[in-house]
């Protein structure tokens, strides 16, 4: 189905960077894309949005030659017809991709990373290091990334790493022109204060006449960087519009078929006199130094910190998935030894890691088994597992968390979209009714509607008395869900923000180590740009949209989402 303008780009003489007509892709089990048209002009930044499972990755993978679409589609890149299913054709026509997993070798220098693809310049069989560095420096400069080519990639900030990946993607632009750059959720792993640097890089790329397909779940970025936006829902293109004609509400309506409005965090249920569900004293590791913290039943406590602060290792270390050198961890008063995730689980801890595919699930096994793994004891009947019970359990969580497709409990995890995988991982842990949730980047890659559902499930768990420790690079998320936020810098816990003190200003100031009395400049800049706290946690309403919308999609799915959220 096609609605809205057929192209948001007009008046350009050059061939469009991308011109897709009638793209359909069917997997066993249904359509991932249905008759999608998409046109991106040279130099246009085009945002692609859609709920989890709406078909964004399938579209990208079709462009890269990984998937062969159903017969009848036409895909032109830079005016030339793509040989579908051929990665070589995609590359030759000038399509380049930067995926969420950037594919950089962290232990090697920037310059080496930029040479791995095209090869190192050599003379008489010897690598010319200086020439490699000079080439790397030019490539970095062309996208506005200021890093030393000799620096190890592992020491770069997330935005710098993404910049290096973009520079690598465009490396041979001079010899073989690049027409299209596809960025798949480039800011999903970036802390708030690094997003702007990445958006500047995108601006530079488009200024070179390269069309950019920018996939994101973050609505603010659409307005900051894109000139046009396309929304997919259940594999169908709902609309393509110039961004200038969109509002946040209208975009949400296209995405979900209903408006979103602010939802307050339920009042804190924890009793300050209760025994802590989690008590950590003197925790030390390679990246953490003398961490003391407590989380009480019913509390949602956040952890904030920039790259290198230790934020991304704290929860794994508490759980025992990462090594700790010293310190004590107690769960509901019970000591949990170092490197013993099994003991932590037995004590009632649930851990959702940031690296979902590597650490959070078994990608080749069915969703049913992935959910069942968390509760093997209760599923055991006689001499074996009760498959029927496992099926009922999985079906229950699929309904509760609106995992799509609903009938997919037997499908391998790898066939679910990223957001739906995350929901399945949550289902596994929720079933255990933990006393303590440790959540690393809990809604990374999750769409706005699903995010609201997961947050709501968390609030319910907290109301039932669970303690929650959330580590997130998403400031908006910390503001929306936390009663307190602990701020880490260089491995130490340096500040605590409580209740109304939690704001984007305060979090940025504390994470960067700016003293409150020196923060006026920062405040001025942020006030002029708006505070993400204004975008509090959304939930659905049935308010009519503020504009006419072509909305022939699956209303039943939205209806059930509304039901869940009321």
Told to check if 24 binds ligand ATP by CB under 6 A, we report: no
Told to check if 29 binds ligand ATP by CB under 6 A, we report: yes
Dig out the tokens for 263 from the structure. 């939802």
d(CA 122, CA 510): 48
Give the H/E segment covering residue 183.
Answer: strand 180-184
Q: Interface mask (CB under 6 A) for ligand ATP, residues 32-51, using x and -?
A: x-----------------x-
Cβ at position 419, least distance to ligand ATP in Å: 4
Cβ at position 52, least distance to ligand ATP in Å: 3
How far out from the chain centre does Cα 11 lie?
35
Going across the sheet that includes 278-284, the strands are 291-295, 278-284, 326-331, 334-336
The window from 278-286, 320-328, 416-424, 509-517 that contacts ligand ATP (CB under 6 A) reads 416-424
Told to check if 553 binds ligand ATP by CB under 6 A, we report: no
Which 3 state secondary structure label does DSSP give 510? helix
Cβ at position 30, least distance to ligand ATP in Å: 7
Binding residues for ligand ATP restricted to 51-110, rule: CB under 6 A: 52-58
Which 3 state secondary structure label does DSSP give 514? coil
Dig out the tokens for 62 from the structure. 């079709």
Told to check if 413 binds ligand ATP by CB under 6 A, we report: no
DSSP tag of 374: G
- Is 58 or 111 the residue whose CB approaches ligand ATP more closely? 58
The window from 265-273, 412-420, 457-465, 546-554 that contacts ligand ATP (CB under 6 A) reads 412-420
Residue 188: closest CA among 210, 211, 160, 216: 216
Cβ at position 376, least distance to ligand ATP in Å: 26
Told to check if 416 binds ligand ATP by CB under 6 A, we report: yes
Cβ at position 50, least distance to ligand ATP in Å: 5
Residue 367: closest CA among 319, 317, 327, 422: 422
DSSP tag of 35: E
Binding residues for ligand ATP restricted to 429-448, rule: CB under 6 A: 445
DSSP readout, 425-460? HHHHHHHT--SEEEEESTTTT--HHHHHHHHHHHHH
CB 488, CB 309: distance < 8 Å: yes
Told to check if 386 binds ligand ATP by CB under 6 A, we report: no
Residue 120: closest CA among 136, 132, 103: 132
- Is 369 or 495 the residue whose CB approaches ligand ATP more closely? 369
Told to check if 471 binds ligand ATP by CB under 6 A, we report: no
Cβ at position 59, least distance to ligand ATP in Å: 7
Instruction: Name the CA dihedral angle for 57, 59, 61, 66, rounded to a multiple of 10 degrees.
Output: 140
The residue within the footprint of ligand ATP, chosen from 113, 417, 475, 553 (CB under 6 A), is: 417
- Is 99 or 432 the residue whose CB approaches ligand ATP more closely? 99
Cβ at position 193, least distance to ligand ATP in Å: 24
CB 71, CB 172: distance < 8 Å: no
Binding site for ligand ATP (CB under 6 A): 27, 29, 32, 50, 52-58, 404-405, 415-420, 445
């Amino acid at each position: 189905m096609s609605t809205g303008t057929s192209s948001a780009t007009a008046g350009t003489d050059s061939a469009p960077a991308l011109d897709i007509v009638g793209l359909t892709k069917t997997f066993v089990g249904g359509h991932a894309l249905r008759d999608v048209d998409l046109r991106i002009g040279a130099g246009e930044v085009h945002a692609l949005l859609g709920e989890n499972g709406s078909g964004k990755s399938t579209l990208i993978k079709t462009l890269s030659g990984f998937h062969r679409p159903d017969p009848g589609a036409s895909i032109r890149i830079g005016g030339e017809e793509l040989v579908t299913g051929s990665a070589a054709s995609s590359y030759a026509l000038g399509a380049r991709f930067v995926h969420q997993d950037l594919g950089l070798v962290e232990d090697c220098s920037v310059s080496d990373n930029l040479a791995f693809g095209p090869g190192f310049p050599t003379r008489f069989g010897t690598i010319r290091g200086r020439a490699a560095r000079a080439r790397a420096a030019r490539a970095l400069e062309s996208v506005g990334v200021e890093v030393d080519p000799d620096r190890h990639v592992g020491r770069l900030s997330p935005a710098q790493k993404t910049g290096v990946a973009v520079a690598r993607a465009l490396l041979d632009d001079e010899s073989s022109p690049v027409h299209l750059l596809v960025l798949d959720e480039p800011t999903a792993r970036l802390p708030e204060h690094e997003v702007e640097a990445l958006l500047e890089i995108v601006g530079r790329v488009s200024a070179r006449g390269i069309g950019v397909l920018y996939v994101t779940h973050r609505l603010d970025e659409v307005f900051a960087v894109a000139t046009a936006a396309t929304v997919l829902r259940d594999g169908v293109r709902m609309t393509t519009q110039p961004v200038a004609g969109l509002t946040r509400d209208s975009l949400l309506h296209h995405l979900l078929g209903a408006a979103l409005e602010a939802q307050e965090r339920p009042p804190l249920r924890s009793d300050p006199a209760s025994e802590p569900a989690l008590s950590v004293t003197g925790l030390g590791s390679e990246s953490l130094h003398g961490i003391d913290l407590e989380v009480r039943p019913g509390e949602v406590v956040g952890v904030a910190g920039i790259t290198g602060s230790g934020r991304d290792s704290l929860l794994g270390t508490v759980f025992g998935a990462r090594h700790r050198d010293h310190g004590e961890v107690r769960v509901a008063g019970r000591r949990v030894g170092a490197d013993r995730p099994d003991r932590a689980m037995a004590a009632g801890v649930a851990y959702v890691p940031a690296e979902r595919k590597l650490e959070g699930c078994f990608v080749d096994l069915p969703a049913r088994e992935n959910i069942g793994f968390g509760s093997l004891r209760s599923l055991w009947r006689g001499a074996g597992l009760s498959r029927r019970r496992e099926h009922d359990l999985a079906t229950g969580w699929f309904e509760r968390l609106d995992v799509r497709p609903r009938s997919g409990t037997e499908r391998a995890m790898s066939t679910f979209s990223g957001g739906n995988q995350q929901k399945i991982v949550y289902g596994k842990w929720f079933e255990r009714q933990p006393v303590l949730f440790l959540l690393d980047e809990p809604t990374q890659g999750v769409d706005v509607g699903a995010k609201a559902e997961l947050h709501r499930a968390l609030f319910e768990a907290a109301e039932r008395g669970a303690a929650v420790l959330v580590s997130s690079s998403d400031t908006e998320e910390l503001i929306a869900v936390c009663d307190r936020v602990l701020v880490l810098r260089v491995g130490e816990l340096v500040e605590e923000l409580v209740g109304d003190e939690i704001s984007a200003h305060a979090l940025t100031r504390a994470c960067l180590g700016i003293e409150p009395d020196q923060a006026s400049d920062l405040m001025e800049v942020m006030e002029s740009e708006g505070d993400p706290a204004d975008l509090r946690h959304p939930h659905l309403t049935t308010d009519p949209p503020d504009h006419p919308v072509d909305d022939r999609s699956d209303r039943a799915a939205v209806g059930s989402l509304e039901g869940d959220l009321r």
